[in-house]
Amino acid sequence: MAEYSAFSLLKNALTGNKDWKPAWRKPDPKASYDVIVIGGGGHGLSTAYYLAKEHGITNVAVLEKGWLGSGNVGRNTTAVRSNYLLPQNTRFYEHSMKLWENLSHDLNYNVMFSQRGCLNLAHTPAQLDDYARRGNAMRHLGVDAELWSVDRIKRLVPALDVSGSARFPVLGGLMQPRAGTARHDAVAWGYARGADRRGVDIVENCEVTGFLRDGGRITGVSTTRGEIRAKKVALAVAGSTGQVMQLAGISHMPIESHVLQAFVSESLKPIVDTVLTFGMGHFYISQSDKGGLVYGGDLDGYNSYAQRGSLPVVDEVMSEMLALFPGLARVRMLRSWGGLCDMTMDGSPIITTGPLPGMYLNCGWCYGGFKATPASGWCFAYTIAKDEPHEFNAPFTLDRFYRGLIIDDKGQGANPRLH
């Protein structure tokens, strides 16, 4: 398949763009594979890509119940960052960041990763110290972090209200300059194309309806397109984890599925040139290359599979937005949508072998899954290929909850809606 480049664009333009080939094939599933990855979202596709690229395992199928990328990879607010407090998270997300930094070249697909920074605003001296703790934790792991003054923040985002008269005045912020945003759909498509080019079968409209077993061992799946056998079956189904695990006879998980809303405004000339978070509530915002302000807030706060949001959260998010940007009251919200978040009991993910023989599990991304996409697939592929975790995902076990080895970046305990 042709490489993408300025040259190929020009060449194809001269022939009326008639010669472009599908970005990925539409194969029918084979009877068996070495590895089946359930879930054609960002994590499933990147897992397949790295299985092929890093481990030479190409006899792989990715099974997607709907259209490729229909889950959270196409529903998030596109922020990429590695500004965590706890070292287990920071190491993992920094690995992801490094993969992001070379991802467009790696995939030969422009995922538009734009390192315009991520700035957490602080509104009290105690919060500033809290952010300093986190920033210093990052720096001690070799990750970039800076404390920014109000003046510097104002220069970067002139529309921000930094006046002392604000209800929660901005006192400073924690900046990660290498953070930024990426074009979310392109990440799914780029990984799909990359995996496909290495021989992976990506099978859309193929819903898993059950697991095939040999004794206690998982040996394949039954699907709406027939039975498919595999030596290894890997789950990367995010918000649907509970339902798919149920098919394997596991009724309880340390996970609740919640809905998170996201919003985009009408397209505007550039006004927010970074990813910005509010410190006295739950609000984050960036601006897409098309000009839409992309923003969101807290979970709706109850179990849901509806991908449909509630009105009070809409009001809350907009109120917090105007607390930061009182000049944007006349800007208009154009579109809203909801994504399903598989919220764990400590806010950190699970990438592990098991819990059944022949099964591998990747879930619990809460609402941080997009930025994890490269490292999640990379670590999951390693775990599937080697039957043991890489050191980056070794802490993210399923049994860590029972053992008290919790990784609770927010310190909220076993209350998923608060992570």
Partner 1 sequence: MSPRRAETGGRIDRLRTIRFTFDGAPYTGYAGDTLASALLANGVTLFGRSFKYHRPRGLLAAGVEEPNALVTVLRGEVREPNIPATMVEIYDGLVAVSQNRTPSLAWDIGAINQLGGKILSAGFYYKTFMGPVIGPLKGTRFWMFCEHFIRRAAGLGKAGTAPDPARYERMNAFCDVLVVGSGPAGLMAAKAAADQGARVILADLEANLGGSANWSGETIDGMPAADWAQRLAAQLAGNDNVRLLPRTTVWGYYDGNTLAALERVTDHKEVAAKGEPRQRYWAIRAGTVVLATGSFERPLVFPGNDRPGVMLAHAAERYANEYGVLPGQRIALFTNNDSAYRSAVALKKAGAAVVAIVDVRGDVSNEMRRLASDAEAELLAGHAVIATEGGKALTGLKVQRFDATSGVLSGDERSIHADSLLMSGGWSPTIHLASQAGAKAEWDPARQAFLPPKPTQRWTGAGAFTGSFSTAEAIAEGRAAGLQAAGGAASSAPLPVVEAAPGDPDPAPVFEIKAKGKSFVDFQHDVTAEDVRLAHREGFISVEHLKRYTTLGMATDQGKNSNVPGLAIMAEALGKPIPEVGTTRFRPPYTAVSIGSLAAERFGDLKPERLTPMHDWHITNGARMYSAGLWYRPMIYGLPGETVEQAYVREARATRESAGIVDVSTLGKIAVQGPDAAEFLDRVYTNMFSTLAVGKARYGLMLREDGLAFDDGTTWRLGEQEFLMTTTTANAGKVMQHLEYFLDVIWPELKVTVTSVTDEWAGAAIGGPNARAILASCVTGTAVDNATLPFMGIVHGQIAGVPVMICRLSFSGEMAFEVYSGAGYGTRVWEALIEAGKPFGLVTYGLEALGTMRIEKGHVTGAEIDGRTTARDLHLDWMLSKKKPFIGSAMMDREGLIAPDRLELVGLIALDNRPLNGGGHIVEELDEANPHASLGHITACCYSPALGKHIALALVKGGEARHGTRAFVSDPLRNRFGPVEIVSNHFYDPDGSRMHG
Partner 2 sequence: MLITCPYCGPRDVIEFTYQGDGNRERPQPASQNLDAWNAYVYDRLNPAGDHNEIWQHSGGCRAHLRVVRNTITHEILSTEFARGGHKSTDSRAEGRS
Q: How many CB atoms lie within 10 A of CB 91?
A: 20
Closest CA relative to residue 285, chosen from 246, 247, 312, 322: 322
Residues 286-315 close enough to bind partner 1 by CB under 8 A = 287, 289-291, 306, 308-311, 314-315
Stretch that binds partner 2, among 169-177, 204-212, 298-306, 377-385 (CB under 8 A): 298-306
Question: Which residues are paired to 109 by β-bridges?
Answer: none
> Applying CB under 8 A, which part among 6-14, 54-62, 185-193, 250-258 lies near partner 2?
250-258
| 209 touches partner 2 by CB under 8 A | no
Size of the site for partner 2 (CB under 8 A): 25
CB count within 10 Å of CB 96 equals 26
Decide if residue 88 touches partner 2 (CB under 8 A).
Answer: no
Taking the C-alpha atoms of residue 206 and residue 33, their distance in angstroms, rounded to an integer, is: 15
Task: Tell me the site size for partner 1, rule CB under 8 A.
Answer: 123
- Measuring CA to CA, which residue among 23, 382, 375 is closest to residue 195? 23
Cβ atoms of 275 and 327 within 8 Å: the answer is no
Contact window for partner 1 (CB under 8 A) among 35-43, 45-53, 316-324, 357-365: 316-324
H helices of 58-177, where? 87-101, 103-107, 125-139, 150-156
Query: Omega before 395 cis (within 30°)?
Result: no
156 interacts with partner 1 by CB under 8 A: no
Binding mask 185-204 for partner 1 (x = CB under 8 A): xx--xx-------------x
The yes or no reply on residue 68 touching partner 1 (CB under 8 A) is yes
> Do the beta carbons of residue 185 and residue 123 sit within 8 Å?
no
Angstrom CA distances, 366 to 51, 61, 289, 360, 418, stand at: 24, 25, 26, 19, 10
Give the DSSP letter of residue 114. B
- Show contacts with partner 1 in window 106-125 (CB under 8 A): 108-116, 123-125
Q: Does 257 bind partner 2 (CB under 8 A)?
A: yes
177 is an interface residue for partner 1 by CB under 8 A: no
Phi, psi angles (nearest 5°) of residue 139: -60, -35
Q: Which residues, numbered 70-99, are part of the site for partner 1 (CB under 8 A)?
A: 70, 74, 87
* Pick 130 or 227: Cβ nearer partner 1: 130
Is 417 an interacting residue with respect to partner 2 (CB under 8 A)?
A: yes
Dig out the tokens for 207 from the structure: 């819903």
405 contacts partner 2 (rule: CB under 8 A): no
Cα separation of the two ends of the chain: 43
Q: Is 164 in the site for partner 1 (CB under 8 A)?
A: no
What binding mask, one character per residue, do residues 19-58 give for partner 1 by CB under 8 A, x or -?
-xxxxxxx--------------------------------
3-state secondary structure (DSSP) of residue 217: strand
Using rule CB under 8 A, residue 223 touches partner 2: no
- Write out the binding residues for partner 2, residues 305-364 only, by CB under 8 A: 305-306, 308, 310, 312, 345
Work out which of 36, 51, 118, 255 binds partner 2, going by CB under 8 A: 255
Report 222-281 residues binding partner 1 (CB under 8 A).
265-271, 280-281
**Between 31 and 311, whose beta carbon lies closer to partner 1?**
311
Nearer to partner 1, 19 or 214 (CB): 19
Should residue 401 be labelled a site residue for partner 2 when binding is judged by CB under 8 A?
Answer: yes
Which of 245, 223, 221 lies closest to 231, judged by CA?
Answer: 221
For residues 335 and 249, give the distance between their C-alpha atoms in angstroms, rounded to a whole number.
38
Residues in the site for partner 2, rule: CB under 8 A?
Answer: 242-243, 251-257, 301-306, 308, 310, 312, 345, 401-402, 414-417
